[in-house]
Each structure stands twice: as structure tokens, then as C-alpha cells.
Structure 1
Amino acid sequence: MKKLIKHAIAFSLMALPMVAMSADKPNFGNIRVVIGSKSTGGDTYQAAAIISEALAKKLDTNIKVDAVGSSAAFSTLKRVGNGSTIMIFHDQSYLGNLYGTRGYYDIFNQYIIGPTFAINPANAYLVPKKSPYNTLDDIINAVGEGKEIRVAIQPGGVSEIGYSAVKNAIKMKYPGQESHFIAVNTGSQADKNQQLFDGLADMIQGSLPANEQFTRLPESDQKAMKFVWLTSTKDTIADVNKNGFGSLSQEQIFSYAEPNVVVPMDAQSNFTFDKEFFFLYNKKMPKDQIAYIDKALKEIYAEGEIQKTFEKAFFVPNYRDSADALKHLQAKNDKYKQVLANITE
């Protein structure tokens, strides 16, 4: 039976159109992928490197990932319309515009939205291990009682959206008390961590890869932390690596996310946030190149190896073609725009 299954899989893959050998393949020269981060050690670079390596093999060309930062990436992409430069970033692309952050544009008007390809399910919020607050509900109720809770975030995007959602939930449950939930605007993850170490913040935005190591420390250690919330949807969390992450089991990871932790967004729905990575293109990029990248990525995901690579790096594989990605990301943009309207009206 196993041999029959293997033969069936092999035959199905052989039946797929092979991009590298296709007669209608556009002319791809060397491709530069600019990313909205300056770090070569962060999740954006890691996700971009994984997908670019697979895409380079499929297109039979060289692809170089360049960590130039968001402003430079957007500006470069606007200037180069021949397909030799494309961009990879995540939800910060549109959230930065919603928050009015300098250097961000309305990506749905200024660029072409390409495929989504992965989710980082690790977006998190943490408190000191010695904190009297053990859950997000504890924090919301404390603010409702008039206690001041300071949250270290990097303003204007992925780091801030969860903070905004909790502030909105506080406003719904304890109208007028949301002013006690205070953003401490800072920079990198190291900066946010330091705010917690120094007692200048009661909670920080972080991530599983960046902060899990601190959850292993004893409560007496100044750097010891504990998770209170993972923002991803239950469907995304259900697809995380079955081995968990670091010292956290999959079951422990589940305990920090919905439905175990719920943040109301309005009377009918709860807030969740998946940090999704996707491609962006110049408006003038040749349509045949855009369509061919969609085709190439579809084949890459059909082959199944890219999923294993992403899962080992604690990403959740998440392929949508350009058309579906546009609809999906526009819906997310509208959803989070409403969250921000609720706390600023």
C-alpha cells in the first residue's frame, strides 16, 4: 500500500506543469527582494530567505534578499517597475498607514499585492513572572478598577495593534477607564525587554522566539517573564509545530491563544491577529511575471517540501495567490481600521 501511495504522489507531481521548463516562461533576470526590515536575524528576513530560495530554484534565476528597512523598501519598489525588484513584508505594510506612520503608503492603491506565503504565529504579550497579573483578563479588570498598566510597544504597526485591541476591549467593558492603559513607545525588541527589566513597563509586546528564553528563568530573576496572550487565530495556532517551541509544549501555546484568551472587538466578534508575510510589486511590473510567480509558488506548495521548512522555523505555511491575498488583506485592513476608530472616536 505504501508503494502505491508513493507512486500516486510521484505521478501527481509529474502531472503538474513544471515552471522551469515551461515554454511560456517570462524572461526573469536576477531578482532583488527588498524587505521592510533592516535586521538579518529577524522573522521577516528568515521568511523571505526561505521562500526566495525555493522560488529561485523554480524560476531558475538568482534571488537576493536585501534587508533595507520599510521606508527604503517602499521607495525602491516604487522606482523599479521592470520586475527586477520585488518586496516582501508583513501586515506592518498596511498597519503603518492606518496608524499614520511616516514612510508608509496605502499599499492597495500604490502597489500590486502579491501572494501570501507564511504566518508567524508567535506574536505575543508578556508580563514579569512576578507580576500579580497571570492572565489578560486580570490586566483588563485591573485597568477597569483604575490601576495604571504601562505597555511597551514599538508604535505604528504589528507591535501596536494588539495593544489597541486590548484598549478597545477595556473601553467596551469599562467605559472611560481605557486611559489607564498606557503605551510606552520604544524601539526594538531589546528595548521593550529592557523596559520590563527596569520596571518601566508592566507588559510588553514580544514573540515566542524572542522571549521564550526568559520564561525559563526563576521568578527571582529580574529578566523572568510569562506569556499572557498570543494574538493568532485558533486555526493558525492549531497548525503550529506539534513539538511546541523551546520549553513550551503545544498545549501550553494553545493556552495563551483563543478560545482560552478572548479579546472582544465588538458585540459580535473577537479580535485576533495573524502576522502574515506576502509579496508586493510595482504597479508597472509585467503582468506575465506576476502571474508566473503565482504559478511557481502554487507548484512549490503542491510539492510539499516548503511546508516542512517553514514548520521547522516555527512558521505556519500560508499560500494564497495574488487575487485571494488582495481580498484577504483588504478585509484585515478594514477590520483593524475599525478597531482604531473605536478607540479614537
Structure 2
Amino acid sequence: MTFNRRTLLAAVSAAAILGQPFAAAAADLPRNIRMVIGSTSTGGDTYQSASIVAEALSEKLDVNIKVDAVGAVNGLKALERDSRGTTIMLFHDFAYLAELYGGKGFVNPFEEFKVGATIATNPGNAYLVGANSPYQTMEDILTAAAEGERVRVAIQPGGVSEIGFSAMKNAAKVRAPGSEENIVAVNTGSQSDKNQAMWDGLADVINGSIQANEQFTQLDGDDQKAMRFVWITASPETLQQAPEAGMGQLTRDDMMDYASPETSVTLDGDQDFTFDKEFFLIYNKDMDEAMIEAIDQALAEIYQDGAIQEKQTAAFFTPNFRPTAEAAEHLEEKRETYKKVISEISG
């Protein structure tokens, strides 16, 4: 793992927690804890990330933590009903992006809940084109929009899938005001739906991921299903912590070519837009603070031990522990940045 400023800050924060006596409330945590996640899939990255941290916390705290894939809205409702600490949630940036996009049933989690520690990042959020697409790069796509071409982008609206699309429109507007109208959404559902939209000729670009789509980039260029990456939204700091071998035939160096600064999607004309899909805990706003401190303390010890990092890296996650206070501040800053991006292209 590359040792950079972020891992240094995390280490300092963890050290500060470890310097304190273990919270007495650890003994007062419920013996059975339900960890709801904002996905209904037991095969996706949210469930996988939750399972890794739930297993580690169960062992460290000597409690039983069961991961329950109930979906975003149902998960938040369950969390809202339980202030005793018997229900906690693990989710990712969709938790606040859905509210920014006006999703029904979503609220600002920083106001209605207690946003807790970050535990991992999925560096795989990406955008792809067909292997035979005339667009070789994001520069080609933004130039085409500036020249009046209509570029159709398949996304699942309302969250992680859409934020990169919003960034594309924002970049087009910064570069050539008015050209953002030529970056248009094709609203679909799951990843298979987005893939199919490309194969059916309904979309020029799709949101995807390294994990789900790298296999299609290995196909012969004449294959209808063959794809090419054009943009990976993760920050270079995050990608630098990925295994050097990468995933499949896509090495870490290859990934860096598709990310900032090599692939630039401008935020404001001076700096690039990046998006790291981060997983973090969420608690009922009235949950006992001592219980949250106990979980923070346990996580600090778990990440100091190092075994969880090996599991996360093997599953193509970037370990990313920040204790509650630091994590909440960091994530709220992200929310404000993306809120501005979304507002710039609205109306």
C-alpha cells in the first residue's frame, strides 16, 4: 500500500483514538446488532464491504453483527426507528447524493442521522464506450459536445451512477457554455441495463465499474459487447493504493491513465473533478455517543492490526479508515462540492 498524506492522517487519527482507554460502553453494546445496507443485492460491493467490516467488528467487540441487504430507503427507515444501537447502517455516497438529486424518501443524512467512520473505498467507478466508438477519450467526448454532437450517457439516476454524468455536463459548461445540453442522460437501471443500452445502440457512453466491465474490455474489438474505458473517477491518491497488478488485464498504471490528471474532466477550469466511492457507517442520531466511540475504538484497533486491509485489498477495495468526527467532516465537504456541481447544471 502506498504511504501518502491520507494514510498518514488516518494513522494519526487512529493513534489518537488508541491512546485513549477502551470505551467502557463496549460492554454495553447490544449483543446482537443488525447492520442494514443500502442495497438489496448480496453479491454487490456494498454487501461485500459490509461483510468484511461486520466480521472484524463482531470478533473485536464480541458481539453478533448480521448484515441485512434491505435497500437504501428501507435501511434508513429501520435506522430511524432504532436509537438503542441494535441497528446500524453501512452505505456509501449515495446516502447523501440521492437527497441532492431529489430522490423520494431521502433526507440529508448529516442532519437526520449521525454519519460515522469511513471504512473503505471502491476505486472502480468508471465510464466506458464501445470498442468501435469514435470517441477515444473524454477529451473527444467533450469536444464533440462543444461542436454540437449529442452524446448519450447511460446512467442509473439519483446517486453514484449520476454524479459522474453531472460532472461531464459541468465540464462541458465550463469549457464551452451551452454545450452541456449535448450531454444527455439515458436513464436505465442496473449495470446489465446500462450495458444493454450500449449494445442496442441507445447510448454512446455508459457508467460502469472496473469490477463489472473490465471483462468486456478484453473482448475482440469486433465483438458487439467489446468496450473501452474512457474515464475512472477515483482520485489518483486512491488508485495509487490499488494492487499494482490491478484487475484482469487492467493494471494500476492503466487505471492511472484513465484518471486525473492524465484524463481531465474539469471541475472549475482549474482543478479536476474526482469521485471516490466511499463506504461509511451511519447511526441513529440519538444513539448513545459512548457506543459510537466504542465502535470507533474497535475499528482503530482493527485497522492497526492490519488483517482487514489485506481482505479489503484482495477484494479490490482501498482501505480507508477515518474515525467518526473526521469522516463526517470529510464527507460533508464532499457533499458540498457535489451539491455545487449539481446546482451548476440545474435549471
Q: Distance in 1 between matches of 2:328 and 2:343?
A: 22
After TM superposition, the structure 1 = structure 2 runs for residues 176-191 of structure 1, keeping only pairs within 5 Å, are: 176-191=178-193
Task: Using the TM superposition, give the Cα deviation of residue 267 of structure 1 relative to its aligned residue in structure 2, in angstroms.
Answer: 3.1
Counterpart secondary structure, 1:184: strand
What is the match of residue 225 of structure 2? 223
- SS class of match (2:243): coil
What is the aligned partner in structure 2 of residue 8 from structure 1? none
Q: 1:88 to 1:22 in 2, by over 3 A?
A: closer
Task: Call closer, same or farther: CA 1:24–1:176 in 2, change over 3 Å.
Answer: closer
Candidates 270, 273, 276, aligned match of 1:271: 273
Superposed CA offset, 1:127-178 (max 9, x none)? 0001011100000001111111100000011000000001011011111121
Tell me the SS of whatever aligns to 2:281.
Answer: strand
The answer as to whether partners of 1:143 and 1:177 remain within 8 angstroms in 2 is yes
Which of residues 15, 35, 38 in structure 1 aligns to 2:37? Answer: 35
Provide Cα deviations, 1:257-308, integer angstroms capped at 9, x if missing partner.
1111111111332210000000000012111111000000000000011111
SS of the aligned residue for 1:86 comes to strand
How far the C-alpha of 1:25 sits from its partner, in A, is: 2.7
Larger Rg over CA atoms: 1
State the distance in 1 between where 2:176 and 2:268 align: 14
* 1:320 equivalenced with 2:312 (yes/no): no
One-letter amino acid of the structure 1 residue matched with residue 28 of structure 2: N
Separation in 2 of the partners of 1:334 and 1:23? 35
Deviation at 1:253, TM superposition (A): 1.2
Secondary structure of the 1:146 match is coil
Work out which of the residue numbers 136, 140, 143 in structure 2 matches 1:141. Answer: 143
The residue identity in structure 1 corresponding to 2:105 is G
1:26–1:289 contact (8 Å) kept in structure 2: no
In structure 2, the residue matched to 1:25 is 26
Stretches of structure 1 lacking an aligned partner (at least 5 in a row): 1-12
Question: How far apart, in 1, do the equivalents of 2:63 and 2:20 lie?
Answer: 15
Aligned counterpart for 1:84 among listed residues 86, 104, 118: 86
2:308 maps to which residue? 306
Q: Is the 8 A contact 1:70 1:103 kept in 2?
A: no
The 1:22–1:36 alpha-carbon spacing in structure 2 relative to 1, beyond 3 Å, is closer
| Contact 1:26/1:288, CA 8 A, preserved across alignment | no
Q: Give distance in 2, aligned partners of 1:199 and 1:120.
A: 29
Cα drift, residue 18 of structure 1: 11
Residues in 2 aligned to 1:67 and 1:148: alpha-carbon distance in whole angstroms? 38
C-alpha displacement of 1:27: 1.8
Shift of 1:122: 0.3
Residues 160-239 of structure 1 mapped to structure 2, 5 A cutoff? 160-239=162-241
TM-score of the superposed pair, with normalisation by structure 1: 0.93
The amino acid that maps onto 1:317 is P
Aligned partner letter, 1:288 = A
Shift of 1:24: 5.5
Distance 1:83 1:105 in 2: 20
Runs of 4+ deviating beyond 6 Å = 16-19
TM-score, normalised relative to structure 2 = 0.92
DSSP-derived class of the 2:341 partner? helix
Partner AA of 1:311 in structure 2: T
- Deviation sequence 1:41-99 (CA, Å, 0-9, x none): 11000000001100100011111000000010010000011000000000000000000
CA distance in 2, matches of 1:39, 1:108: 25
Count of aligned residue pairs for this structure pair? 330
Query: Percent identity, aligned pairs only?
Result: 52
Alpha-carbon distance, 1:26 to partner:
3.2
Q: Are the aligned partners of 2:170 and 2:345 in contact in 1 as well (CA < 8 Å)?
A: yes
Measure the CA separation in 2 of the matches of 1:321 and 1:283: 16
Q: Which amino acid aligns with 2:306?
A: G
Q: Which residue of 2 aligns with 1:329?
A: 331
| CA deviation string 1:199-232 (max 9, x = no partner) | 1100000000100000011111111000000001
Q: What amino acid is the match of 1:33?
A: M
Conserved? CA contact 1:95–1:156, under 8 Å: yes
Cα distance per residue 1:94-121 (max 9 Å; x no partner) = 0000000112111011000110010000
SS in 1 for 2:103: coil
CA contact (8 A) 2:25 2:291 kept: no
